[in-house]
Structure 1
Amino acid sequence: MSWLHTASSFLAISQLVFLACLYSVYFPRRLISRLIVLFSICITAYILVRSDVDWPQAVRLLLTILATLAPAVLWVIARYLFEDQRRVHPGVAAMIIFYMVIRTIGLLSYGGSVPRDSTFLYLLYFYIPQWIMLFLACHVVYMACRGREGDLVESRRQVRVPFAIGMGTIVGVIIGSGFFQFGGPQLDTLYFIVIFGLILFVNLAMFRLQNDAPQLIQTAVEQPRIAASTLPTGTVSRHDQQLIDRVLTAMRQERLYAEPGLTIGDLAAKVSLQEYRLRRLINQAMHFRNFNQFLNQYRIEEAARRLRDPEEEHIPISSIALDVGYVSLSSFNKAFKETHGVTPSVWRIQTDAQHFASGGQGE
């Protein structure tokens, strides 16, 4: 069985090397490419540390630390690929730093083994970091699947499920093997075969999208801000312009954006257009990356106007939020602040102050 163990490890590493080289060659000096290379190194380190090689203690510790880093690196990759708002919450950043520091201290203190002499130290150095790693892996799958329905970048939309299945399962294997401390040549061989198959699955999926890969990488790199008053720009065909006018009429005159839970499928049915054509139209002709971003343009535009209107200053902000299509005040506050840089309440106060100042000057 030793030959199968060695062969499976080499096969898995070969796919990881291919993945790293693919992004390094075709997308040099891109942050997302460097992250994918780092992730490949982390998974390779996991394979090497579980191989039959009798590594020096220092090398084994380094490989173990790199393997532990894999869930955090994968989480950052998923954030850059699938989230248009890439700012990392301070709490998540602190959690990642905490688990890496604690896990590293535990490995250095106990020479890479699990502390057994103290329940507290076992929980601190091993069990808690494992749960954080599991949370990050689950959140990767959540991020990849959550926005698929409203994603207007077709290359990114197609890669979400393969990414979630492949990468998430790989990290799950790493966490599971550490969590339950399952080992041995037979199980390690199975881990390596699973990693090989999943990375091959991801590579094949990316190869199928090779013509659209630059768009996917560009989406992950550039995040231009779209103003609330954005109109279609660029050269479009006469037929596309007619379709755009049909969509804009439905949104502005019929206020479809005010319908809570409106999906792109609902809008496609309203304007009598195939869903895939509507996705492509909004993305390529109107320059939106996801459907929520498209809806927020109209919702925030109306909300801002009504918050400026002195005749509506008696209407609660929550009522305005619900009236323009939001299902909760928190989601409205978040979207409004992302667009205008301040919360709706601050926006209304600032507007009232401007009205008062202009009225005072006129007297």
Structure 2
Amino acid sequence: MIENLDTSVRLIAVGASLLLLTLLLAGQVRRPIKIALGGLLISAAAYLINSSTVIHPPRSIRPFVDLASVFAPFWTWLFGRRLFEDEPPKWVIPVTTAVLVVSWFIAHFVPRFDPAGFYSIHFVSLVLVADLLRVALGQRADDLVEKRRLIRLWLPVLVAAQTGGVLVFETIAGQAPAHPAVQLLNAVLIFTLTLFVGLALLRTDEELLAEASNLAVAKRPAVDLSASETVLKEKLEAAMAAGYYRTPGLAITDLADHLGVPEHRLRALINRRLGYRNFSAFLNHHRIAEARTILADRDRVDVPVLTIAMDLGYNSLPTFNRAFRTETATTPTDYRREMFIRN
């Protein structure tokens, strides 16, 4: 009975994944998310087939179905990182891909080292799941997009319950077949994750999936502001003009307390009216503007870049350098040199 129900859920989920893949290819989703989401749908369908005790693909293609299923945690991780606009370092993706492929090859074609390949895949996958949970929950306070803030709460629950739970179970139990009830629970969780993806695709929510500008700023004219928003905007501009953005470790909660307004009102103003998607982007806009002025000032040519970074509220030089490069496409040192050559 349980096995029949498990098989039915898996077939429905596979069909839904293929249907969503078709919608994805035709939809207006930004390319990085489209790639990650397409990979997630294909790998999820492969995993549903590969982990079934009833559905058996032909022996000749079984290793390649397993290869696709091995990448399910990878694509889930990459989809989450890109949905939250936190692209991983460039070297991480090819290195992770190489490790997973080599581990899969060992597991299938080098039998004497089989346990090593199996546990290597699970270790890497668990690291990816842990990193996604860190990004989703750890950076939630900085996120200004309300719908995405909600996703940061319950997407980790689904990922931890399905991907993380299955990986831990398989790591402990080894390659022994799972209990039918566990298999059914796994299929239901994957189907639930597929429904979430489908909801996002069918709605094609611009706040979540559409292209965003590099600076994520789309200023609106003052006529769009209500009376209360106008007053709050004036308070915010006064605080920024006074240099409150230089406060080290400044969070939106601190700024809301300083202005004497509820955090949700300030968050809505900065996101929906000023156009910033992350609070750090709002801070960096002001901090980097002052940094550019200082770096181009002949009277302050001997001020070290590290001192400038610390004075503007950054906790380290690498953090400042990344923010500066994001805003200007160059480093602080190169920018200073270019300004003096130009002048």
TM over 0.5, yes or no? yes
Alpha-carbon spacing, 1:278–1:156, altered in 2? closer, same or farther (3 Å): same
Question: Equivalents in 1 of 2:81, 2:4: separation in Å?
Answer: 34
Alpha-carbon spacing, 1:195–1:257, altered in 2? closer, same or farther (3 Å): farther
Partners of 1:166 and 1:202 within 8 A in 2: no
Question: Equivalents in 2 of 1:101, 1:208: separation in Å?
Answer: 30
Question: Equivalents in 2 of 1:205, 1:52: separation in Å?
Answer: 26
How does 1:177-192 map onto structure 2 within 5 Å? Answer: 177-180=169-172, 181-186=174-179, 188-192=180-184
Alpha-carbon spacing, 1:192–1:231, altered in 2? closer, same or farther (3 Å): closer
How does 1:141-220 map onto structure 2 within 5 Å? Answer: 141-180=133-172, 181-186=174-179, 188-197=180-189, 199-200=191-192, 203=195, 213-218=205-210
* AA matched with 2:234: D
* AA matched with 1:74: T
Partners of 1:337 and 1:343 within 8 A in 2: yes
1:350 corresponds in structure 2 to 338
What is the CA distance between 1:150 and its match in structure 2?
A: 1.1
* AA matched with 1:252: A
Structure 2 unmatched ranges of 5 or more: none
Partners of 2:67 and 2:104 within 8 A in 1: yes
Partners of 1:250 and 1:256 within 8 A in 2: yes
Alpha-carbon spacing, 1:275–1:18, altered in 2? closer, same or farther (3 Å): farther
The counterpart of 2:219, out of the listed 232, 257, 261, is 232
Partners of 1:167 and 1:199 within 8 A in 2: no
Partners of 1:163 and 1:202 within 8 A in 2: no
Partners of 1:20 and 1:37 within 8 A in 2: no
What is the CA distance between 1:196 and its match in structure 2?
A: 1.1
1:14 corresponds in structure 2 to 12
Structure 1 unmatched ranges of 5 or more: 356-363
Question: Equivalents in 1 of 2:62, 2:202: separation in Å?
Answer: 37
What is the CA distance between 1:184 and its match in structure 2?
A: 2.8
Alpha-carbon spacing, 1:95–1:178, altered in 2? closer, same or farther (3 Å): farther
* Greater shift in the superposed pair: 344-353 or 8-17: 8-17
1:256 corresponds in structure 2 to 244
Please state if 1:309 is matched with 2:297. Answer: yes
Partners of 1:162 and 1:202 within 8 A in 2: no
Partners of 1:140 and 1:168 within 8 A in 2: no
Question: Equivalents in 2 of 1:191, 1:8: separation in Å?
Answer: 7
Partners of 2:248 and 2:315 within 8 A in 1: yes
TM-score normalised by length of structure 2: 0.85
Aligned with 1:155: secondary structure?
A: helix
Aligned with 1:101: secondary structure?
A: helix
What is the CA distance between 1:155 and its match in structure 2?
A: 0.7
TM-score normalised by length of structure 1: 0.81
The counterpart of 1:128, out of the listed 120, 129, 150, is 120
How does 1:86-105 map onto structure 2 within 5 Å? Answer: 86=87, 88-105=88-105
Question: Equivalents in 1 of 2:200, 2:41: separation in Å?
Answer: 20
1:46 corresponds in structure 2 to 47
Please state if 1:300 is matched with 2:288. Answer: yes
Aligned with 2:91: secondary structure?
A: helix
Question: Equivalents in 2 of 1:182, 1:122: separation in Å?
Answer: 9
Partners of 1:162 and 1:205 within 8 A in 2: no
1:63 corresponds in structure 2 to 65
Question: Equivalents in 2 of 1:51, 1:130: separation in Å?
Answer: 18
Deviation readout 1:37-73 (Å, 9 max, x if unpaired): 5423322322322323344312322221111011221
Partners of 2:81 and 2:135 within 8 A in 1: yes
1:359 corresponds in structure 2 to none
Deviation readout 1:10-44 (Å, 9 max, x if unpaired): 32553565466468548833343564354233223
